[in-house]
Amino acid sequence: MSEAPLAVDGELDTFGMCCPMPIYATSQKLKELAAGQVLKVSSDDPGFLKDLPAWCKQTGNPCLRIGEEESGEYVGYVCKQ
């Protein structure tokens, strides 16, 4: 995932959390942001790659980008609606 960096308004580290906790934590953290702001979520749970886009589709919060970093961590960017 070596694309240009996105401007983020908040960050969330969900390392050590297993499904469904990374998505639950994302949902809670987004409540702190205003509409249009971007949250960067980092995880070490491989299921995160499927779970985050599915949750975004369900809730209407756009998943701007998701992928695996060279370090092995999974990173997703969500824009709050």
Task: State the catalytic residues.
Answer: 19
The residues facing 67 across adjacent strands are 75
* DSSP alpha helix (H) spans, 1-81: 21-30, 48-59
8: nearest Cα among 52, 32, 31, 41: 41
Query: How many Å apart are CA 46 and CA 55, to the nearest integer?
Result: 15
Asked if residue 44 lies in contact with residue 74, where contact means CB atoms within 8 angstroms, the answer is yes
